[in-house]
Structures are given as C-alpha cells and as structure tokens.
Amino acid sequence: MMRQYELVDRVRKYNPHANEDLLNRAYVYAMKAHGAQLRASGDLYFSHPLEVAAILTDMKVDDATIVAAVLHDTIEDTASTKDEIDEVFGSEIGSLVDGLTKLKKLDLVSKQAEQAENFRKLLLAVADDVRVLLVKLADRLHNMRTLQFVPPEKRARVAQETLDIYAPLAGRMGMQWMRGELENLAFRTLNPEAAATIEARLASLRTKNEKLIAGIEGELSQALSKNGIEAQARGREKSPYSIFRKMEQKSIAFEQLSDIFGFRVVVPSTQDCYRVLGIVHTKWPTVPGRFKDYISTPKQNDYRSIHTTVVGPGMQRVELQIRSADMQDIAENGIAAHALYKDDVSGDAARLTRESLAYQWLKRTVELLAEGDSPEEFLEHTKLEMFHDQVFCFTPKGRLIALPSGATPIDFAYAVHTQLGNGAVGVKINGRIAPLLSELHNGDEVDIARAEGQSPPAAWESLVVTGKARAAIRRATREASRLQYAGLGRQIVARAFERAGKALSEDKLKGALPRLARQNVEDMLAGVGRGEIFSGDVVRAVHPEFREERKPPLKSAKGESGWFGLKKAASLVFRFPGASPGAASSAIPIRGLGGDLPVRFAPNGGAVPGDRIVGILNPGEGITIYPIQSPALMAFEDQPERWLDVRWDLEHGREELFPVQIVVNALNEPGALGAIATVIGEAGANISHVEFVTKSPDFRDIILDIQVADLKHLTSILAQLKARSVVSRVERVNG
C-alpha cells in the first residue's frame, strides 16, 4: 500500500507547488474513515482509493482531483457526510466527492434501472466538473485490474458494464490508453479463450515481424531526416479487443487483417505533419481511399491526426498516423491533457478547454437529461452516441456537422436543431433530391426541407442512429399522441356531461383532479382518451350525487338481442337521465385517419363514409371505428363503457381513401386477377393487400383490402366487378 509521503512525492514530481498539507490531511482522513474495512482480495480497503489516486498522478491532474480520489468512497462506504467533507476540505472537493457517490436508498425495480440512474447522476456531476469523470474512470480501471477477486456472477456484470459504458466513455473523452486497457481487461473476463488465442497470435506475429518493423521505422526516420524533419517514427500494435471486434464486425479471420501493425510519426508542429505527408506520398504510392485528415476536421473527442496508407518498403502495406507532440498528448490523455485541470490554468486556456469538442459532446449529452427521458432511455441514447465512428457533412452554408457512421439526413437535421428534425419532410444531398433515410458519407452537403406543423413519424425512432434524434422523435411522438388523446378525451367528457344534463367547466374539472389521481386537466383528459378513465367517472368526480344508467348496446328497449338488436341499439350508447333522445350532434366527429384524434378502422372489414358507425374505445389505442353491421361488435356486448357515439364529419372535397375488405369469387384462370385489379384501379380505388383461398379447381376466393372514398364509391366498384365474366360472386366483408 502506498505511504503518505509517496503520494505527496508522486504529485510533486509534476507539480512542485502542490499543497502538501491538503494531500496529507486527505490521506489521514480517508485512512481513519475506512478503518479496518477490507476489499474482496483481503487487502485493506484504503489501498483502493490510494491506487486510484496513483493512476491520476500519472495523468498529472491538479491537487483537488487527487484529494477527491483519496476521499471518493468516504461518503458512500463510511460514516462521513458531504457536509463534513465540505467543512474539512472545502465545497469544491465536497462537490467532486458527492458527484462520485452512488445513489442510496433508491427504490428501483431492476439492476438495469439502478445502473442507468447512477450513470445519469454521474454525467450530471460531470457536466458541472469533468474531473468527476477522471476520478470515476480511474476508479473503474483499478476495479478492473483487481476483478479476479470478485465473485464470478458480479465479475461478468462489471466487465460488461465496463465494455458498454466506461471504455467507450473514456474513448469519447479522448483517453485512448485507458479505453484500451479497460476494453482488454473486460475482454479477458467475458471471453477468456478468445482473448488468450488472440494474445498468443499477436506474440507470435510480433516475434516474426520484429526485423520488418524495425526496418520500416528506420527507413521512415531516414527519409524524414534527409528532408530536415525531426521526427519519432514508431511501430504500434492493435489491441487484442480491437482485433476481436474487427474480426466479428467484418466476419474475417485473423490472417485477413491488414492493420494489426501500424506506424506513428510524431513531429514538433502542425506544419511538419503536412510536410511529412508530402514526403511519404512522394516516396511511396498511396492506397486509394485510405486518407483521412483529422487535423482540419477533428473528431468529437478532440482527436487530431493525419491517417494514410502507403505501399512502403518491401512492398508492404504501411498504415501511418502523423501528428504533432501536442496532438499525441491529447490522443492518449484526452480531456485530462487540457490546461483547465492544471494548477497554472489561465483564462484563455480555460475558455479553450470549455470549447473543446469532447466537453461540448458531454454538455450536449447531458442536455438530453433535461428532456424528461427515463434513465434507461438516456443510457440507451448515450451508448448510441459512444459506439460509432464518424462521418463529416456540411449544411448549405458550410457548417460542419459530425455524425456517427450510418447516419441519415434525419440524424443530420436533429444535429442541426430539434425543430429542423421535427419538421423535416425532404432532403437534397449534394444538390440532388434523395430519400430521408439515405446513408450519409463524408463530405456530403445536406439541405433539409421542412414544413411547419409537421410531426416526425414514430417509425423514425428505430431508423435513426444518434441518441439525440431518437430522444427527440420519442418526445415529439409522445407529445403528439398525448395531444391526440387529450383532444379525444375532451370530446368524450364534453358529451358525457351533455348527456348527463350537467354543466362542464375547466374549474370544476380542476377541482375533481385529486379524486381522479391526475396532476392537471390535460393529463386527466388524455387518460380518458386512452381509456384509462371512464367518462362517467369524471362526471361523478365533479358531481358525486350523479348516477348514470349504462345499458348494454346490444339490447334494444324492447329486449331484442343479437344482430337485429345491435343495429337498433347502436345509437343508444350511454343514455343518461335527462339526455335529449335524439342528440346526434353530441356524437364525436370522425374526420379520417389524419385528423386530430387517435382513430383507426376495424381490421378485416374497415369502415367508409356512408356507413352507420360505432366507436369502441381501446385502452392505449384510441377509437376503433366499426360499421354498425360488424359482427365483431358482439365481443363488446358486456362492456358498455367502451362504446362511443361517433359520426362522419368530412370536409367537402377531401380526397382521403378509407379501408374496406371485399371477397371476390372468381374463375381460377390466367388474367382473372388482372381483370379484377383493372376494375378497381380504373375506379380510382387502391389495393393494399391480396390473399387467395382456393376452394375448388375451377374457382377461388380473392380477399382484397382496398381503399375507397365512400359507400357510393364502394357500391359502384362492387357492381362493376359483378359485371365481369370472370367473377362469380363479390361481397363486402364485415369483420
């Protein structure tokens, strides 16, 4: 275990002005707080925070971060409190330690929810001070280094969590050395056989290619030295886990990998990077399509470098990374390399760091938290953001937008602005009209066309690749759905009060909210629209003395039941005392599928304007419209509270088509289907589905789902079909 003076010495090696008293007080405080607590390995628990601090000294962080590392488990695992930490060490260190403390006494239904909520809390703390993340990643790294002492079932869970969350997060922050070690440690735990095999193959390949690598290093250094460039040229090896991941993604064998070994050239300045590029490309032929300039367009984690591949010495394919010393520091240490976290930070350095791409990504990610997503959704979106490589696209005005590979114009639109994404209706890519689901490529210019009042289709959520787009689409569809259900609920409640002969007002509804367990009127109305609250319950909540008389709609006043009773009784839905006998105007107006109500039509039958119709309220789905003659209505005979009075209310000149199903018994001969389809098409109807049922060698039933304008249109089509010689019989299906 590291001693007190050793911790101070490690910090003073890179920071001669370190606050020795602060470091000593933190050491003593944590040692006393943890006392005789032991780790799973049997070591004193206090050794763990010291090792975390040691990892951070290698990253050369400031005194406050080191102290927070030493104290990071005191609030969670000892009797210490945040107030006590604030008092002894100051509020800055207290906030860092509190940001690292897991949620306690949280009633969460699953381990996944707990994991998601802790990650959510961590990123909220990181948004205030990214040093929290540095300590958390160092904490996870030491836990992974000692994972062999943990029980096997927990070991696998921690390793998977590391692979899913913490390693990609380290990569997003530009800390590549830490990402690589976390990935490899998790890989060895989750797939020990594959890890051992790849490591053995790497060792063999390393020995075999040792002279070749040294020769390429020497020839590179010699070529650059001749041109007056001071450079370090070194071979580098791909990590076992990155090899395994590439083999899985591309479904290739180890022998087929061409980039196991690469070379890195580090030079003093940015100008030297481009000089090296010119020399290398002049001396050796390049491999087409293998050049990337991340200096002019840095990655979102601030990574800057030039990547190129040439056919080098001995006709070997050589992958090169060319970067300056500063770029190398940021490539390895990421956000920890920025001046903001050093003791000698200046105002300009602090400003530049806050504007770093990695920090901007963190801030954008945390913005999702304010949008009301559940912890699990937030975790899902964040994983999406962390796992992808990037493509760089441009707006028509030249603004650069970085997106994950595989991104679509929809992702692009949401990356520019949420409102642009919500209103997107079309796109031009490089000046040509393209589908909104096209895959974008590096250098594409993307011009989004939008329409006011547009709402994104719910299906988009599963088609986009960025967390921001998914979150925004989910919110927009939820809000649109809520507004639809609230609109439906308002109409249902208004008609319920009208039939009951009671006055309805917003104030009365507000007064009844506690009885209905809703926070506001809109939520209550949406609950009615979803079928979670019955309209009669709302009337009783406002007027407790009210008693409704619900009559099963399948029985008429004369006691008739079944099919004849159904037809006569469909208009008697929800008859309340005092209601006007023929109040047809109280029926809910149906304006089609594209209206402002959550409406759908009955499956296997549908309904068209001109039909007498009945509405059935389906919880969570809105209204299903049935024609009065549909036998499917028998299933709701004993649920009168779900029946709604509805009526057609279509705008004049509207061209919307409505679903209906027909069965055509036709000759089983060539051209029969074509003749039927021709009649339907020439009549201006649309066929959406066709199914065949063969009942005899000569005839077969053709079941067609078609879309027509109204009952008159349907009747005309049926008459025309009956007139065709190939048709024996045609009838409408009343599902």
Q: Which residues are catalytic?
A: 76-77
User: Cα separation of 309 and 285, whole Å?
Assistant: 9
Amino acid, single-letter form, for residue 512: A
Q: Report CA torsion sign: 627, 628, 633, 638.
A: positive
Q: What is the 3-state secondary structure (H, E, C) of 360-413?
A: HHHHHHHHHHHHCCCHHHHHHHHHHHHHCCEEEEECCCCCEEEEECCCCHHHHH
Structure tokens at 200: 């053995």
Residue 628's contacts (CB-CB under 8 Å, 6 or more residues apart) are: 566, 567, 570, 611, 612, 613, 614
CA atoms within 13 Å, Cβ hemisphere of 717: 30
User: Cα separation of 628 and 620, whole Å?
Assistant: 23
Ordered strands of the 446-450 beta sheet = 432-434, 424-429, 446-450
Q: Residue 633: helix, strand or coil by DSSP?
A: helix
531: left (phi over 0), alpha (psi -120 to 50) or beta: left
User: Cα separation of 714 and 708, whole Å?
Assistant: 6
Nearest C-alpha neighbor of 334 from the set 366, 307, 357:
357
Burial 460-483 (b: 16+ CB within 10 A, else e): bbeebbbbbbbbbbbbbbeebbbb
Q: Residue 649: helix, strand or coil by DSSP?
A: coil
Structure tokens at 397: 């005005």
DSSP element (H, E) containing 347: helix 347-354
Structure tokens at 112: 């996944």
CA 351 to chain centre: 31
358: left (phi over 0), alpha (psi -120 to 50) or beta: alpha
